[in-house]
Amino acid sequence: MIDGLALAQALLRADSVTPARGAVFDVLESALVPIGFAVDRFVVGAAPDGPVENIIALRPGSGRHLAFAGHVDVVPPGDGWTGSPWSGAIRGELLYGRGAVDMKGAVAAFAAAASRATGPTLSLLITGDEEGPATYGTPALIERMAARGIAPDLCLVGEPTSVHRLGDMVKIGRRGSVNIWIDVPGRQGHVAYPHLADNPAGKLAKALAALQAMGLDHGNAWFQPSNLEITDIAIGNPAHNVIPARAGARLNIRFNDEQRGADLIERVRALVHEHAPAAIVTGKVSGEAFLTEPGAFTALVSAAIEAQTGLVSELSTSGGTSDARFLSKLCPTVEFGLVNATMHQVDEAVAVADLDALTAIYADVIARLAIG
């Protein structure tokens, strides 16, 4: 059997700032092969978004196929750690290291659970690019699965969804995200002679004010209202007496399942053109909103959590995007993992007791699928 704590420590000791390759995957492969998984490791992509390493680990069984999806890449640790961010040190009741919560701890917990429970077909879909642009991560995993004829029936993503206590929240959906860039051209000139210039700043200001006043929706039973946020305004004019030649802005919209990313880009473009007809508006959809309707799978995961923790989980769609936005196109997908209080922070840490409990919950999920 796999010791989940020891595996988590080994994973934490492998520096794997996104995009990740090499040592951290060596650690995971060496743990999975002895418990019956066939491991397919592959590297795809090139700079600037790659290369990225991914793993498809598959162990055949009977009945339904449960895929566990996660990532072993991490964000940069930053400065100010009490010890090394790559130490995997235990101090008191906590295991420290970059990725302890997000999400090497959950990867270790599922591997340990798979070593305890048998029955259904299991796979681990592990990427080295969740914290990055995801260009060569989970989308590449999905392509390779399709080429190999691997089609999971259910997917459990180990993102840190718990808020105050392990088990208090399960994510059954996520809002979508779209980034939009606005570039308003003008004509440079002297501020004392505005009739000889064309100031783009005022046009941009009016467009941004209209965008902020634009209503998107009121939300629905499972999603909060969509929101538009201005994230950057750039003119870059070093002179106080010069009308600038260009003015630009960037915004992000987090949207629910009443919207679609491409439609939002067009809506923004049309409104901007009312105030700045020559503006160039471009957008990139990071992911569409998705919802796994409560049903048999969410009930099974919730029952396993309650059996191990005594908590009745809240089903939620809150938070940012995750790789579930890609995986939800394959099969019913839910997310459940550790308490997220320290993710991406200095001295990121997980309670050792929570790591053990998460292993027990994942093992319970596997066992319930075997029975069902």
The torsion angle over the Cα atoms of residues 189, 193, 199 and 203, rounded to 10 degrees, is 180
DSSP codes joined into one string, 218-234: ---SS-PPPEEEEEEEE
Tokens of 238: 């070093």
What is the Cα–Cα distance from 249 to 236, expressed in whole angstroms?
11
**Cβ-contact 281, 181 below 8 angstroms:** yes
List 53, 102, 129, 130, catalytic entry = 130
C-alpha dihedral sign at 229, 232, 235, 240: positive
What is the Cα–Cα distance from 283 to 288, expressed in whole angstroms?
13
Residues 6+ apart with CB under 8 A from 90: 9, 96, 352
Burial of 67 (0-12, 13-18, 19+ CB in 10 A): buried
Residues 6+ apart with CB under 8 A from 291: 172, 173, 222, 223, 257, 317
The count of other CB atoms within 10 Å of the CB of residue 259 is 21
- Look up tokens 């902020």; give the residue: 212
Quick one: how far is CA 308 from the chain centroid?
26
C-alpha distance across the termini of the chain, in Å = 24
**Cβ-contact 95, 9 below 8 angstroms:** yes
Q: Which amino acid is at 285?
A: V
What is the Cα–Cα distance from 276 to 267, expressed in whole angstroms?
14
Please say if 143 is a catalytic residue.
Answer: no
Please say if 53 is a catalytic residue.
Answer: no
List 73, 288, 335, 364, catalytic entry = 73
Q: Which residues are catalytic?
A: 73, 130
